[in-house]
Amino acid sequence: MNKFSSNGYLDMELLRFTTAGSVDDGKSTLIGRLLYDSKSIFEDQYEAIRLTSERRGEEYVNLALLTDGLKAEREQGITIDVAYRYFATPKRKFIIADTPGHIQYTRNMVTGASTANLAIILVDARKGVIEQTRRHAFIASLLGIPHMVMCINKMDLVDYDEAVFEQIKKQFQTFASKLNVKDIQFIPISALNGDNVVDKSVNMNWYGGPTLMYLLETIHIGSDLNLVDCRFPVQLVIRPHNNDFHDYRAYAGRIAGGIFKPGDKVMVLPSGFTTHIKSIEGPDGPVKEAFAPMSVSIRLEDELDISRGDMISRENNKPEVSQDIDVMVCWMNAKKLQLNGKYSIKHTTRDARCVIKKIHYKINVNTLHRIQDDKEIGINDIGRISIRTTQPLFFDKYQLNRNTGSVIFIDEATHETLGAGMII
Amino acid sequence: MQSYNLKHIKELEAESLFVIREVVAQFEKPVLLFSGGKDSIVMLHIAYKAFYPAGLPFPLLHIDTGHNFPETLQYRDELVARLKARLVVGSVQESINNGRVAEEIGINASRNVLQTVTLLDAMEEHGFDAAMGGGRRDEEKARAKERFFSHRDEFGQWDPKNQRPELWNLFNGKKYQGEHFRVFPLSNWTEMDVWQYILLENIPMPSLYFSHYRECVNRKGVLLARSEFIKLQKDEKWEKMKIRFRTIGDMSCTGAALSDASSIEEIIEEVAAARQTERGTRADDKRSETAMEDRKREGYF
């Protein structure tokens, strides 16, 4: 058996991270280096971008071309949309959501951040913490990303000076005290020269911490999901119409929180009936327990009227149930959010409609100040609103559970996704 | 102590299961696009698990270019019988006969592009409102920007600059009559993940993926297998080579790779050491830098 067909590869964890930075801070160079050094760039890909760079008269092979896949992006030299990149090391498998720094930054960053466990934020060592750094950090914290890695880049251009690094670190920590992030790390790097990216820098002996790659490979992500509060939104009902499984009825879905076991006493919402779990089917057959984010189907002891959008949880640990909900919304469409406007919404597996009852304030994403006198929420704006839904939602605060605390707003006429909401 | 940490292959599987079930919950008449390639085989395998012990709640749609490898068709028919699945075939030959499309001419003529029309016609004829495909984001740069739920207008077109934002696990499948969705449950899988999963789940694969001797012609670095669809040009000749296919498409545009890999383990070893992307052997992607995006805009897979 070789190293790949042994259990090594199958034993790896998956880390999803997002990268944020502004135009010239070396984000593409950093991603290119992570991909290149982990041998995730293939010869034909490299050859294709080398030729394109050459044709454009660029001095270096432009690694940004790896992620800018669309014709319009390549023509204009900008990133329009979130791009997903994949690489693996012998320790972990990684999904990068690479978000453009300038155009539609909020919309794209929010999208990329919504599924990430970790955010890499790049800071140019020569510029220190600037407006964009604060904006990126705020969005990462708003989206509940548990780990933040501040990469102080271009250390080679400040003579690998420890004082510069410490100064930026201090500057950022002052700001970060206002944010809700569990874990912030600082790494001095040079993406161009590879200092502290994969290999430890020989130019910064004063730095005793991990390299970026080591951190990505080892950071503890096992506690990122909520394994305490049991939440199972019913996705659909499985009822085989065949003779072998006559009275079989199972509720399929993805566990949104907690751990479920056969025999557990559970309560079903909205009906409020209680019953016990008879069995849980995983993708490979019955399981003794199931936890987030597994996709399973659950059979119950009693026959109850349960359908898509219902929630299975515990009697003494239920989600909140309400039609009046406060949400931090990030707006993603040129059509402004309308006070008293009606929208379709999706929350877990539940579809509903809502009306916007109140716009409390808008947030200045650079200073975190609340703007009270301008309550127009347009594209890329973030603000706090109150909504009333046509039927109760079963939810938790977003900071407690991203799966049961998130909601999207949909235009009833065009069906476009207009906004993303985090329940507060 | 029990670890409550899903390993990455199982997490990817859980995500794909969720997406496939979401398709059945949100659409009236979904279909699974089955090409006989490894990605659609894995997707079908997961789809079967998603509804077990119930049967598959949707049919399979195979777009038959008429240029398929015979091995692909045989594998398809056996699998359909084993899963008791329903199979719908859209025929490019019929589209040609009906005058919907014209056969390409020239030495690299292929029916690859023509498939789009047959696919869209089949969707319309059967009233399918969501088509699940095995496309992965790591395959090709235009696919890196694709959503799980990808909206298509009434002409089946994709507008990459105007895609719906997709957040968390909340998939917006709302649409008007006549519009449809393409859904990609394997979006986050890599070629390596697919092979590892095949090994883990012990999924039988078509013989084309394993090393065998075959007569091929080397056309500008692409090894094309001998068939009635490939006409030799001046200075070209058939040579017997030990090859396997990394991807399986049409006989007219799928290139083979020299290989000794005769088991899944050996394929995995080869994939791990590969310095070319799998689509590096596809003549259909080599037509231009944006060949994939151009075809996808029109409604390609």
Q: pLDDT category, A69, cuts 50, 70, 90? A: low
pLDDT of A404 > 70? The answer is: yes
pLDDT of B20 > 70? The answer is: yes
Which pLDDT score, from 0 to 100, does residue A389 have? 97
| Contacts with A131 (C-beta within 8 Å, 6 or more apart), sequence order | A366
Q: pLDDT category, A64, cuts 50, 70, 90? A: low
Q: What is the DSSP track for B228-295?
A: TT----TT---EEEEEE-SS---TTTBEEEE----SHHHHHHHHHH--S-GGGGBGGGGG-TTHHHHH
Q: Are residues B116 and B31 in the same domain?
A: yes
Which pLDDT score, from 0 to 100, does residue A5 have? 42
Q: Is A107 on the interface with B (CB under 8 A)?
A: yes
Structural domain includes residue A169: yes
pLDDT digits 0-9 by tens, A20-29: 876 667 787 8
Q: Looking at the partner chain, which of B12, B24, B172 has a beta carbon nearest the beta carbon of A410?
A: B172
Average pLDDT, chain A: 88
Q: Are residues A380 and A329 in the same domain?
A: yes
Q: Are residues B154 and B233 in the same domain?
A: no
For A209-236, what is the mean pLDDT? 91
Beta bridge partners of B170: B167
pLDDT of A356 > 90? The answer is: yes
Structural domain includes residue A1: no
ipTM of the assembly? 0.91
Q: Are residues A143 and A259 in the same domain?
A: no
Which tokens hold the place of B87?
């199979």
**Among residues 184-213 of chain B, which lie with CB inside 8 Å of chain A?**
187-188, 190, 192-193, 196, 199-200
Residue type present at position A147: H
Q: Are residues A212 and A237 in the same domain?
A: no
Which pLDDT score, from 0 to 100, does residue A46 have? 75
Query: B269, A4: Cβ pair inside 8 Å?
Result: yes
Query: B192, A111: Cβ pair inside 8 Å?
Result: no
Structural domain includes residue A227: no
For A128-138, what is the mean pLDDT? 88
Q: Are residues B107 and B214 in the same domain?
A: no
Which pLDDT score, from 0 to 100, does residue A6 have? 46
In angstroms, the CA A134 to CA B260 distance is 54
Q: Are residues B37 and B134 in the same domain?
A: yes
Which pLDDT score, from 0 to 100, does residue A122 have? 92
In chain A the first and final C-alpha atoms are separated, in Å, by 51
Q: Are residues B71 and B115 in the same domain?
A: yes
CA nearest to A117 within chain B: B168
Q: pLDDT category, A15, cuts 50, 70, 90? A: very high
Relative to beta strand A285-286, strand A13-20 is unpaired
**Which residues in chain A are contacts of B163 at CB distance < 8 A?**
81
Longest Cα–Cα distance in chain B: 68
**The total number of structural domains that make up chain B:** 2
Structural domain includes residue B160: yes
pLDDT of B175 > 80? The answer is: yes
Residue A41, domain CATH: 3.40.50.300
**Which residues in chain B are contacts of A408 at CB distance < 8 A?**
167-168, 170, 172
Q: What is the DSSP track for B182-198?
A: EE-TTTT--HHHHHHHH
Which pLDDT score, from 0 to 100, does residue B177 have? 87
Q: pLDDT category, A79, cuts 50, 70, 90? A: low
Please answer whether residues A258 and A226 qualify as being in contact, where contact means their C-beta atoms are separated by less than 8 angstroms.
yes
Which pLDDT score, from 0 to 100, does residue A76 have? 58
Which pLDDT score, from 0 to 100, does residue B278 have? 66
Nearest Cα of chain B lies from the Cα of A317 at a distance, in angstroms, of 20
Q: Are residues B130 and B154 in the same domain?
A: yes
For A409-417, what is the mean pLDDT? 95
Structural domain includes residue A102: yes
Q: Are residues B167 and B266 in the same domain?
A: no
Structural domain includes residue A223: no
Q: Are residues A368 and A287 in the same domain?
A: no
Q: Are residues B35 and B49 in the same domain?
A: yes
Only one residue has tokens 């990469």, namely: A151
Average pLDDT, chain B: 86
Which of these, A97, A227, A280, lies nearest to B6 by C-alpha position?
Answer: A227
Q: Are residues A25 and A164 in the same domain?
A: yes
**Among residues 65-104 of chain B, which lie with CB inside 8 Å of chain A?**
none
SS3 annotation, A41-74: CCHHHHHHHHHHHHHCCCCCCCHHHHCCCCHHHH
pLDDT digits 0-9 by tens, B196-236: 999 999 999 999 999 999 998 888 888 888 888 888 888 88
Domain end call among A218, A246, A275? A218
Query: A52, B265: Cβ pair inside 8 Å?
Result: no
Please answer whether residues B189 and B195 qualify as being in contact, where contact means their C-beta atoms are separated by less than 8 angstroms.
no
C-alpha distances (whole Å) from A376 to each of A287, A336, A354, B300 are 50, 7, 18, 40
Q: Is B94 exposed, middle or buried (0-12, 13-18, 19+ CB in 10 A)?
A: middle
pLDDT of B5 > 90? The answer is: no
Q: What is the DSSP track for B189-226?
A: --HHHHHHHHHHHT----GGGS-EEEEEEEETTEEEEP
Domain end call among A283, A313, A343? A313
Structural domain includes residue A387: yes
Residue A285, domain CATH: 2.40.30.10
**Among residues 164-183 of chain B, which lie with CB inside 8 Å of chain A?**
164-172, 174-176
pLDDT digits 0-9 by tens, A235-285: 999 998 877 888 899 999 999 999 999 999 999 999 999 999 999 999 999
Structural domain includes residue B1: no
Which pLDDT score, from 0 to 100, does residue A3 have? 42
A185: DSSP letter: E
Which pLDDT score, from 0 to 100, does residue B275 have? 62
Q: Are residues B39 and B110 in the same domain?
A: yes
Query: A42, B275: Cβ pair inside 8 Å?
Result: yes
Q: Are residues A71 and A157 in the same domain?
A: yes
Cis amide linkage into residue B53, ω under 30° from 0 = yes
Q: Looking at the partner chain, which of B14, B175, B268 has a beta carbon nearest the beta carbon of A254?
A: B14
In angstroms, the CA B279 to CA B203 distance is 22
Q: Are residues A275 and A409 in the same domain?
A: no
C-alpha distances (whole Å) from B272 to each of A194, A289, B267 are 24, 34, 8
pLDDT of B2 > 80? The answer is: no
In angstroms, the CA A66 to CA A31 distance is 10
Q: Are residues A331 and A288 in the same domain?
A: no
Nearest Cα of chain A lies from the Cα of B111 at a distance, in angstroms, of 24
Rounded (10°) CA dihedral B182, B186, B187, B192: -150
Which pLDDT score, from 0 to 100, does residue B301 have? 65
C-alpha distances (whole Å) from B4 to each of A231, A232, A253, A257 are 16, 16, 18, 12
Which tokens hold the place of B162?
């105007």
**Which residues in chain A are contacts of B192 at CB distance < 8 A?**
4, 9, 88
| A221 or B202, higher pLDDT | B202
Structural domain includes residue B2: no
Please answer whether residues B101 and B92 qualify as being in contact, where contact means their C-beta atoms are separated by less than 8 angstroms.
yes
| Contacts with B201 (C-beta within 8 Å, 6 or more apart), sequence order | B45
Which pLDDT score, from 0 to 100, does residue B279 have? 60
Q: pLDDT category, A91, cuts 50, 70, 90? A: confident
In angstroms, the CA B283 to CA B224 distance is 9
Q: Are residues A294 and A198 in the same domain?
A: no
Which pLDDT score, from 0 to 100, does residue B233 have? 84
Range of the domain at B178: 8-193+290-298
Q: Are residues A143 and A291 in the same domain?
A: no
Which pLDDT score, from 0 to 100, does residue B228 have? 82
In angstroms, the CA A147 to CA A219 distance is 9
Range of the domain at A124: 7-218
Q: pLDDT category, A2, cuts 50, 70, 90? A: very low
For B244-250, what is the mean pLDDT? 84
Which of these, A293, A287, A283, A282, lies nearest to A257 by C-alpha position?
Answer: A293
Q: Are residues B143 and B235 in the same domain?
A: no
Residue B138, domain CATH: 3.40.50.620
For B8-24, what is the mean pLDDT? 96
Candidate from A119-133, A286-300, B248-262 with smallest mean pLDDT? B248-262
Query: A242, B53: Cβ pair inside 8 Å?
Result: yes
Candidate from A388-392, B37-41, B225-229 with smallest mean pLDDT? B225-229
In angstroms, the CA A424 to CA A213 distance is 34
- Radius of gyration for the alpha carbons in chain B, expressed in angstroms and rounded: 19
CA nearest to B22 within chain A: A235
Query: A283, B268: Cβ pair inside 8 Å?
Result: no
Structural domain includes residue B199: no
Please answer whether residues A247 and A277 qualify as being in contact, where contact means their C-beta atoms are separated by less than 8 angstroms.
no
pLDDT of B283 > 90? The answer is: no
Q: Are residues B55 and B177 in the same domain?
A: yes
In angstroms, the CA A50 to CA A54 distance is 6
For A379-390, what is the mean pLDDT? 95
Q: Are residues A266 and A363 in the same domain?
A: no
pLDDT digits 0-9 by tens, A163-208: 999 999 999 998 888 888 878 999 999 988 889 998 899 999 999 9
% of chain B residues with pLDDT over 90: 48
Structural domain includes residue B36: yes
**Which residues in chain B are contacts of A382 at CB distance < 8 A?**
none
Q: Are residues A150 and A256 in the same domain?
A: no
Please answer whether residues A186 and A165 qualify as being in contact, where contact means their C-beta atoms are separated by less than 8 angstroms.
yes
What SS3 class is residue A271? coil
Which pLDDT score, from 0 to 100, does residue A1 have? 36
Which pLDDT score, from 0 to 100, does residue A300 have? 97
Domain end call among A218, A252, A278? A218
**The total number of structural domains that make up chain A:** 3
Q: Are residues B175 and B222 in the same domain?
A: no
pLDDT digits 0-9 by tens, B61-77: 999 888 888 889 999 99
